[in-house]
A and B are shown apart, each in its own frame.
Chain A
Amino acid sequence: DGGITQSPKYLFRKEGQNVTLSCEQNLNHDAMYWYRQDPGQGLRLIYYSQIVNDFQKGDIAEGYSVSREKKESFPLTVTSAQKNPTAFYLCASSAAGNQETQYFGPGTRLLVL
Protein backbone atom coordinates (compact mmCIF):
# COMPACT_ATOMS: atom_id res chain seq x y z
CA ASP A 1 0.00 0.00 0.00
CA GLY A 2 1.94 3.03 -1.28
CA GLY A 3 1.78 6.41 0.32
CA ILE A 4 3.14 8.96 2.73
CA THR A 5 2.94 8.51 6.47
CA GLN A 6 3.42 11.15 9.13
CA SER A 7 3.70 10.64 12.85
CA PRO A 8 2.54 11.49 15.35
CA LYS A 9 -0.92 12.75 14.42
CA TYR A 10 -0.83 15.18 17.39
CA LEU A 11 2.26 16.49 19.15
CA PHE A 12 2.57 18.67 22.22
CA ARG A 13 5.60 20.82 22.81
CA LYS A 14 6.73 22.43 26.03
CA GLU A 15 8.56 25.74 26.17
CA GLY A 16 12.22 25.40 25.19
CA GLN A 17 11.79 21.89 23.84
CA ASN A 18 12.85 20.57 20.44
CA VAL A 19 10.44 18.14 18.80
CA THR A 20 10.81 16.00 15.68
CA LEU A 21 8.06 15.20 13.20
CA SER A 22 8.40 12.05 11.14
CA CYS A 23 7.68 11.71 7.42
CA GLU A 24 8.14 8.47 5.46
CA GLN A 25 7.22 7.64 1.86
CA ASN A 26 7.28 4.40 -0.11
CA LEU A 27 6.48 5.96 -3.49
CA ASN A 28 10.13 5.95 -4.58
CA HIS A 29 9.94 9.74 -4.94
CA ASP A 30 13.18 11.71 -5.13
CA ALA A 31 11.78 15.00 -3.80
CA MET A 32 10.24 15.65 -0.38
CA TYR A 33 8.82 18.81 1.20
CA TRP A 34 7.62 20.26 4.48
CA TYR A 35 4.85 22.84 4.67
CA ARG A 36 3.19 24.65 7.53
CA GLN A 37 -0.50 25.63 7.54
CA ASP A 38 -2.00 28.11 10.00
CA PRO A 39 -5.79 28.39 10.50
CA GLY A 40 -7.53 29.93 7.49
CA GLN A 41 -4.26 30.16 5.60
CA GLY A 42 -2.63 28.45 2.67
CA LEU A 43 0.45 26.28 2.97
CA ARG A 44 3.90 27.82 3.39
CA LEU A 45 7.09 26.02 2.42
CA ILE A 46 9.58 25.30 5.24
CA TYR A 47 12.22 23.07 3.62
CA TYR A 48 12.52 20.82 0.60
CA SER A 49 14.90 18.18 -0.65
CA GLN A 50 15.42 17.13 -4.26
CA ILE A 51 17.84 14.31 -3.49
CA VAL A 52 19.34 12.39 -0.58
CA ASN A 53 21.85 14.34 1.54
CA ASP A 54 20.77 17.68 0.07
CA PHE A 55 18.03 20.13 1.08
CA GLN A 56 17.11 23.79 0.61
CA LYS A 57 15.39 26.38 2.76
CA GLY A 58 11.89 27.43 1.86
CA ASP A 59 10.14 30.67 2.70
CA ILE A 60 9.92 30.15 6.48
CA ALA A 61 12.90 27.97 7.47
CA GLU A 62 13.91 29.91 10.60
CA GLY A 63 13.47 27.81 13.75
CA TYR A 64 13.32 24.52 11.84
CA SER A 65 15.87 21.92 10.76
CA VAL A 66 15.73 18.84 8.53
CA SER A 67 17.84 15.91 7.40
CA ARG A 68 17.64 13.62 4.37
CA GLU A 69 19.81 10.58 5.08
CA LYS A 70 17.49 8.15 3.30
CA LYS A 71 15.35 8.56 0.20
CA GLU A 72 12.27 7.41 2.10
CA SER A 73 12.59 9.70 5.11
CA PHE A 74 12.58 13.47 5.68
CA PRO A 75 12.19 14.31 9.39
CA LEU A 76 11.50 17.88 10.51
CA THR A 77 12.75 19.23 13.85
CA VAL A 78 10.94 22.19 15.36
CA THR A 79 13.51 23.87 17.55
CA SER A 80 13.05 26.10 20.59
CA ALA A 81 14.00 29.03 18.33
CA GLN A 82 10.60 28.72 16.60
CA LYS A 83 8.53 31.01 18.80
CA ASN A 84 5.13 30.30 17.25
CA PRO A 85 5.15 26.60 16.37
CA THR A 86 1.44 25.87 16.76
CA ALA A 87 0.28 24.80 13.28
CA PHE A 88 -0.67 21.90 11.01
CA TYR A 89 2.49 20.44 9.47
CA LEU A 90 2.24 18.70 6.11
CA CYS A 91 4.85 16.56 4.41
CA ALA A 92 4.71 15.95 0.67
CA SER A 93 6.69 14.06 -1.94
CA SER A 94 6.99 14.06 -5.71
CA ALA A 95 8.99 12.62 -8.54
CA ALA A 96 11.83 14.81 -9.83
CA GLY A 97 10.88 17.72 -12.10
CA ASN A 98 8.85 20.89 -11.80
CA GLN A 99 5.72 19.47 -13.44
CA GLU A 100 5.41 16.58 -11.05
CA THR A 101 2.47 16.46 -8.67
CA GLN A 102 3.17 16.71 -4.97
CA TYR A 103 1.28 14.20 -2.83
CA PHE A 104 0.60 14.95 0.80
CA GLY A 105 0.72 12.91 3.97
CA PRO A 106 -2.08 13.13 6.57
CA GLY A 107 -0.33 15.85 8.59
CA THR A 108 0.82 16.41 12.18
CA ARG A 109 -0.90 18.95 14.39
CA LEU A 110 1.58 20.60 16.78
CA LEU A 111 0.33 22.32 19.90
CA VAL A 112 2.27 24.23 22.53
CA LEU A 113 1.62 23.49 26.23
Chain B
Amino acid sequence: QKEVEQNSGPLSVPEGAIASLNCTYSDRVSQSFFWYRQYSGKSPELIMSIYSNGDKEDGRFTAQLNKASQYVSLLIRDSQPSDSATYLCAVNGYSGGGADGLTFGKGTHLIIQP
Protein backbone atom coordinates (compact mmCIF):
# COMPACT_ATOMS: atom_id res chain seq x y z
CA GLN B 1 0.00 0.00 0.00
CA LYS B 2 1.53 3.27 -1.15
CA GLU B 3 1.50 6.03 1.47
CA VAL B 4 2.16 9.74 1.26
CA GLU B 5 2.56 11.65 4.51
CA GLN B 6 2.16 15.38 5.09
CA ASN B 7 1.88 17.50 8.21
CA SER B 8 -1.77 18.62 8.23
CA GLY B 9 -0.97 21.99 9.84
CA PRO B 10 -2.20 24.62 9.93
CA LEU B 11 1.11 26.17 8.99
CA SER B 12 1.05 29.89 9.66
CA VAL B 13 3.58 32.11 7.82
CA PRO B 14 3.87 35.93 7.77
CA GLU B 15 3.29 37.68 4.47
CA GLY B 16 6.54 38.04 2.53
CA ALA B 17 8.25 35.12 4.30
CA ILE B 18 9.17 31.69 2.89
CA ALA B 19 6.66 28.88 3.39
CA SER B 20 8.13 25.37 3.50
CA LEU B 21 5.91 22.35 2.92
CA ASN B 22 7.14 18.80 3.29
CA CYS B 23 6.07 15.35 2.12
CA THR B 24 7.41 11.82 2.49
CA TYR B 25 6.39 8.78 0.48
CA SER B 26 6.66 5.05 1.09
CA ASP B 27 6.99 3.50 -2.38
CA ARG B 28 10.65 3.55 -3.35
CA VAL B 29 9.88 2.99 -7.05
CA SER B 30 7.80 6.17 -7.32
CA GLN B 31 8.76 8.13 -10.42
CA SER B 32 6.71 11.32 -10.56
CA PHE B 33 5.87 13.88 -7.88
CA PHE B 34 3.33 16.67 -7.94
CA TRP B 35 2.24 19.56 -5.76
CA TYR B 36 -1.36 20.71 -6.09
CA ARG B 37 -3.02 23.71 -4.46
CA GLN B 38 -6.64 23.43 -3.38
CA TYR B 39 -8.79 26.30 -2.21
CA SER B 40 -11.73 25.48 0.05
CA GLY B 41 -14.59 23.92 -1.92
CA LYS B 42 -12.61 23.91 -5.17
CA SER B 43 -10.75 21.28 -7.17
CA PRO B 44 -6.95 20.88 -7.03
CA GLU B 45 -4.77 22.84 -9.44
CA LEU B 46 -1.20 21.92 -10.32
CA ILE B 47 1.57 24.06 -8.86
CA MET B 48 4.69 22.04 -9.64
CA SER B 49 5.81 18.66 -10.93
CA ILE B 50 9.25 17.13 -10.39
CA TYR B 51 10.80 13.90 -11.59
CA SER B 52 14.56 14.09 -10.89
CA ASN B 53 16.58 14.59 -7.74
CA GLY B 54 17.36 18.22 -6.98
CA ASP B 55 15.54 21.52 -7.22
CA LYS B 56 13.08 22.82 -9.78
CA GLU B 57 12.11 26.48 -9.73
CA ASP B 58 9.06 28.19 -11.27
CA GLY B 59 8.55 31.79 -10.27
CA ARG B 60 8.03 32.00 -6.50
CA PHE B 61 7.81 28.21 -6.19
CA THR B 62 10.64 25.70 -5.79
CA ALA B 63 10.13 21.95 -5.60
CA GLN B 64 12.86 19.78 -4.09
CA LEU B 65 13.17 16.01 -4.50
CA ASN B 66 15.41 13.57 -2.65
CA LYS B 67 14.66 10.02 -3.79
CA ALA B 68 17.20 8.45 -1.42
CA SER B 69 15.34 9.97 1.55
CA GLN B 70 11.93 9.57 -0.15
CA TYR B 71 11.25 13.22 0.51
CA VAL B 72 9.64 16.01 -1.52
CA SER B 73 9.26 19.62 -0.49
CA LEU B 74 7.71 22.83 -1.82
CA LEU B 75 9.07 26.28 -0.99
CA ILE B 76 6.97 29.38 -1.58
CA ARG B 77 8.98 32.60 -1.54
CA ASP B 78 7.50 36.04 -0.85
CA SER B 79 4.31 34.43 0.47
CA GLN B 80 1.09 36.26 -0.36
CA PRO B 81 -2.33 36.05 1.33
CA SER B 82 -3.62 34.47 -1.91
CA ASP B 83 -1.27 31.53 -1.23
CA SER B 84 -3.46 30.57 1.74
CA ALA B 85 -4.85 27.15 0.75
CA THR B 86 -4.36 23.44 1.27
CA TYR B 87 -1.33 22.00 -0.53
CA LEU B 88 -1.56 18.40 -1.64
CA CYS B 89 1.48 16.25 -2.35
CA ALA B 90 0.85 13.50 -4.92
CA VAL B 91 3.00 10.62 -6.08
CA ASN B 92 2.79 8.35 -9.11
CA GLY B 93 4.36 4.94 -9.31
CA TYR B 94 5.76 2.91 -12.14
CA SER B 95 3.67 0.37 -14.02
CA GLY B 96 5.46 -0.09 -17.30
CA GLY B 97 4.63 3.30 -18.72
CA GLY B 98 0.89 3.43 -18.24
CA ALA B 99 -0.94 6.39 -16.79
CA ASP B 100 -1.88 5.26 -13.30
CA GLY B 101 -3.72 7.12 -10.61
CA LEU B 102 -1.96 9.30 -8.08
CA THR B 103 -1.55 8.63 -4.37
CA PHE B 104 -2.24 11.80 -2.40
CA GLY B 105 -1.26 12.98 1.03
CA LYS B 106 -3.95 14.50 3.24
CA GLY B 107 -2.64 17.98 2.56
CA THR B 108 -1.08 20.82 4.55
CA HIS B 109 -3.28 23.80 5.36
CA LEU B 110 -1.20 26.95 4.81
CA ILE B 111 -2.23 30.32 6.24
CA ILE B 112 -0.40 33.49 5.17
CA GLN B 113 -0.84 36.19 7.78
CA PRO B 114 -1.02 39.78 6.41
Contacts and interface: CB of A to CB of B under 8 A. Distances in A.
A97 B46 contact: no
Contacts of B31: 98-99
B43 A104 contact: yes
A104 B51 CA distance: 20
A82 interface: no
Interface string A83-113: 0000000100011111111111111000000
Dominant secondary structure of chain A at its interface with chain B: loop
Given A40-B106, A42-B107, A95 B101 contact: no
**Which range contains the number of B residues in contact with the other chain?**
20 to 34
A104 B44 contact: yes
B7 interface: no
A98 B97 contact: yes
Contacts of A105: 43
Contact of A99 (B4, B32, B46, B105): B32
A53 to B, nearest CB: 15
Interface residues of A, number: 29
B45 A104 contact: yes
Contacts of B95: 98
B101 to A, nearest CB: 4
Contact of B98 (A58, A96, A104): A96
B42 interface: yes
Nearest to A44: B104
Contacts, number: 72
A19 to B, nearest CB: 20
Interface in B6-61: 8, 31-32, 34, 42-46, 49, 51
A48 B43 contact: no
B49 A101 contact: yes
Nearest to A96: B99
B43 A45 contact: no
B88 interface: yes
B101 A48 contact: yes
Interface string A60-98: 000000000000000000000000000000100011111
